[in-house]
Structure 1
Amino acid sequence: MIVRLIVFIAIFAIGWWLYRQVLAFQRTKNPSKSHSPSKTTEKDAQENMVRCEQCKIHVPRSHAIHDQEANAFCSKEHLQAFHKKP
């Protein structure tokens, strides 16, 4: 009985793997039928992150506030607090 279960699981796993391979092949064959909502590539959609000098969290570069030395901050308060430190 255990042998039958193991064989059934093995057949199911092989079938699932073959199914995924067929889907991957079709996706590479027809890239225009991608199910991503936008036409931009994933690389174009990504944005560089910068670390806030005060609290050390990462924020997108377009949302960061920079000082004259090009240090990045997540908010005006952290910019001011960083420059008030002795």
Structure 2
Amino acid sequence: MNLLLIRLIIFAVLFFAGLQLYRMYRQWKLDREEALDSESQQEGGQMVRCAWCKVHVPEADALREQGEWFCSSAHRDRFLQEQHPEE
């Protein structure tokens, strides 16, 4: 009877220790994923230069037209007007 009770206590302790380790691993993994996500959001990607005003903007926010990068649609339109003036 005593041996059965001791085995039951040991099993319960091991079970709860394993459960605690699993929870710690899961939390560590979630924290790591959040850190990677926030790091990639802070980077913003590669910087490109506006062909009109020469300001550098993240590639994700820039507009591309005819192989050139622009920081806004207004600068894109001005640049294209200058390249192809209407007659």
User: What TM-score do the two structures reach when normalised by structure 1?
Assistant: 0.48
More helix by share: 2
